[in-house]
Amino acid sequence: MAPLRVLCIHGYRQNGSSYREKTGALRKLLKKQVEFVYLSAPHSVQQASSEALEKENGPGPGPGGDEDPRGWWFSDIQALSFSAQQHCEESLGLDESVTAVREAVKVQGPFDGILGFSQGAAFVAMLCSLQEQKLEPEFSFRFAILVAGFRSACKEHQKFYNPPLQIPSLHVFGLEDRVIPDNMSRELLPSFQDPQVLTHPGGHFVPAASAHRPAYQDFLKRFQ
């Protein structure tokens, strides 16, 4: 059985290679079922202090580190920065990020599914909305996995959240997440028809202990 091909969308201040390192346990957990392909966001982000990085990315830069921090859009168009909690009228950079995904699908696709983390998970919800509105004919994702996702607080993004998306979705979040508190991830659930949920007791990371394998496998098996 050929593995499912999944496009991976990293979090704010990460990049494709650092996110690949951070999802090593998940790749190992699902290696028989999934081939993960990693994309870097088009926008460079200003370096942050080590405390801010620790908060957003979890302790310690893995090999491949976050020397080249990237983002999918900015909520503060003056400072060119992003905060999930920031309410804004408009954002900057989303169109270029959609173009980057479109190009990845053309060149490296097709993909069975898409997986996003944090800002990347919020972006995945938007990409699924564009697909269902038939605005991106290149997209043909059959499922979405959103880890520490949230609903964008930017006014111009509200068009992505109704009606509920039909794409099968698995929403994964940590009950001790201090970057994207679990209530923010729960607020995204009504934007999806029949969302499946996997919670874990930890913080802001992609959980991949053997205890989590059944939830991932049960979700993925219907697409195999």
Whether 63 maps to a domain, the answer reads: no
Q: Residue 1: its pLDDT value, please? A: 79
Of the chain, the end-to-end C-alpha distance in Å amounts to 8
Whether 28 maps to a domain, the answer reads: yes
Give 193-208 pLDDT, tens digit per residue. 999 999 999 999 999 9
The amino acid sitting at 166 is Q
Q: Residue 56: its pLDDT value, please? A: 53
For residue 26, give the CATH number of its domain: 3.40.50.1820
What are the CA-CA distances from residue 57 to residues 49, 118, 137, 142 (Å)? 12, 10, 33, 28
State the 10-residue block means of pLDDT for the chain, 224 residues long: 95 96 96 96 81 49 64 93 92 95 96 98 98 96 98 94 94 96 96 96 95 95 93
Residue 118 annotated among the catalytic residues of the structure: yes
Whether 74 maps to a domain, the answer reads: yes
Q: What is the pTM of this model?
A: 0.92
**What is 50-110 written as a DSSP string?**
HHHHHHHH-SS--TT-SSS-EES-BSBTTTTB--TT--BS--BSHHHHHHHHHHHHHHH--
Which range marks the domain in which residue 78 is found?
4-44+68-222
Q: Which of the residues 17, 75, 118, 152 is marked catalytic?
A: 118
Strand partners, 115: 8, 145
Split into its structural domains, the chain has a count of 1
Whether 160 maps to a domain, the answer reads: yes
Q: Residue 162: its pLDDT value, please? A: 84
Contact 66, 94 (CB under 8 A): no
Whether 59 maps to a domain, the answer reads: no
Whether 134 maps to a domain, the answer reads: yes
Q: Which of the residues 18, 177, 191, 200 is marked catalytic?
A: 177
